[in-house]
């Protein structure tokens, strides 16, 4: 009887994983189509120009980090719309370092690691700027929401890194870095006219990053169980 229960449980787990995989396939197909359009009409032309200018992938990576620093300073000084614009531009710039490395034959494991680390630092720096802004404004709600959004963002990235360290591909979830950058940047621009919008955006990011963390934890747990 115990063996039958174990077999049924394993079969149910595999069926659940199949359903998740189908949903993920649909999402990834949509992302792949959007990615291909960006690659064709934006990445390849721009990386071609950068390569001819002698710009290295690491220069692009650190330029994005510099942009995040400028964005954080603008935000801390209360210029949310300007900080949002700079953040979005830095996010666009981040698209080019990987493709530039591949097109120039300079891609390497360390380069990929450096890019990932700088991405995390850039996001935290921008959120630090928001934290300073709300602390100066004596906004307890804003301070708490920034803290929750930062914690959720770190956990999403950690779950992916830890899962991949166990040999499991873990890109599932609805609030990955591109979505977070887009939401933050757009929210800060709109907040110039409607300040409460930024609090709503931070609340959404905090909630959805926690949800994404749970999704990735469940995905990895099921994958590990299926491999036993």
How high is the pLDDT of residue 53?
A: 85
What total number of domains does the chain contain?
1
Tell me whether residue 17 is in a domain: no
Identify the band that residue 25 occupies on the pLDDT scale cut at 50, 70 and 90: low
How high is the pLDDT of residue 186?
A: 96
How high is the pLDDT of residue 83?
A: 96
In angstroms, the CA 196 to CA 216 distance is 30
Q: Does the pLDDT of residue 12 top 60, yes or no? A: no
Q: Does the pLDDT of residue 16 top 50, yes or no? A: no
Tell me whether residue 111 is in a domain: yes
Among 10-14, 18-22, 131-135, 193-197, name the one with the lowest average pLDDT.
Answer: 10-14
Higher pLDDT, 43 or 157: 157
Tell me whether residue 197 is in a domain: yes
- The CATH number covering residue 194 comes to 1.20.120.1760
How high is the pLDDT of residue 14?
A: 46
pLDDT digits (tens, 9 = 90+) for 132-175: 999 999 999 999 999 999 999 999 999 999 999 889 988 888 99
Percent of the chain whose predicted confidence (pLDDT) is above 70: 81
Tell me whether residue 185 is in a domain: yes
How high is the pLDDT of residue 50?
A: 79
How high is the pLDDT of residue 9?
A: 45
Q: Does the pLDDT of residue 1 top 60, yes or no? A: no
Average pLDDT of the chain to the nearest whole number: 84
SS (H, E, C) the chain: CHHHHHHHHHHHHHHHHHHHHHHHHHHHHHHHHHHHHHHHHHHHHHHHHHHHCCCCHHHHHHHHHHHHHHHHHHHHCCCHHHHHHHHHHHHHHHHHHHHHHHHCCCCCHHHHHHHHHHHHHHHHHHHHHHHHHHHHCCCHHHHHHHHHHHHHHHHHHHHHHHHHHCCCCCCCCCCCHHHHHHHHHHHHHHHCCCCHHHHHHHHHHHHHHHHHHHHHHHHHHHHHHHHC
Residues 191-213: b if buried by 16+ CB within 10 A, e if exposed: bbeeeebbbebbeebbebbbebb
Residue span of the structural domain in which 206 resides: 41-227
Mean pLDDT of 115-124: 93
Tell me whether residue 167 is in a domain: yes
How high is the pLDDT of residue 5?
A: 44
pTM of the model: 0.80
Tell me whether residue 179 is in a domain: yes
| Torsion angle in degrees (nearest 10) through CA of 87, 89, 93, 95 | 80
pLDDT digits (tens, 9 = 90+) for 45-103: 778 787 888 888 889 899 999 999 999 999 999 999 999 999 999 988 888 887 888 88
How high is the pLDDT of residue 135?
A: 95
Tell me whether residue 14 is in a domain: no
What's the distance, Cα to Cα, between the start and end of the chain in Å?
20
Q: Does the pLDDT of residue 17 top 50, yes or no? A: no
């Amino acid at each position: 009887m115990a063996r039958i229960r174990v077999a049924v449980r394993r079969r149910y787990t595999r069926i659940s994983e199949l359903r998740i995989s189908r949903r993920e396939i649909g999402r990834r197909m949509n992302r792949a189509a959007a990615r291909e359009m960006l690659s064709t009409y934006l990445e390849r032309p721009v990386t071609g120009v950068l390569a001819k200018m002698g710009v290295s992938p690491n220069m692009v990576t650190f330029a994005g980090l510099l942009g995040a620093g400028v964005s954080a300073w603008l935000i801390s000084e209360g210029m949310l719309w300007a900080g949002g614009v700079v953040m979005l531009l830095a996010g666009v710039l981040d698209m080019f370092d990987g493709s530039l490395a591949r097109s120039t034959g300079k891609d390497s494991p360390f380069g990929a690691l450096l890019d990932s680390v700088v991405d995390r630092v850039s996001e935290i720096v921008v959120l630090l700027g928001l934290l300073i802004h709300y602390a100066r404004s004596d906004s307890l709600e804003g301070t708490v929401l920034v803290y929750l959004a930062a914690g959720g963002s770190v956990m999403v990235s950690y779950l992916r890194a830890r899962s991949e360290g166990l040999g499991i591909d873990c890109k599932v979830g609805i609030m990955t870095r591109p979505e977070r950058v887009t939401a933050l940047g757009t929210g800060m621009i709109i907040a110039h006219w409607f300040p409460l919008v930024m609090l709503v955006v931070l609340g959404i990011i905090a909630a959805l990053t926690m949800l994404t963390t749970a999704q990735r934890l469940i995905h990895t747990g099921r994958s590990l169980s299926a491999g036993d």
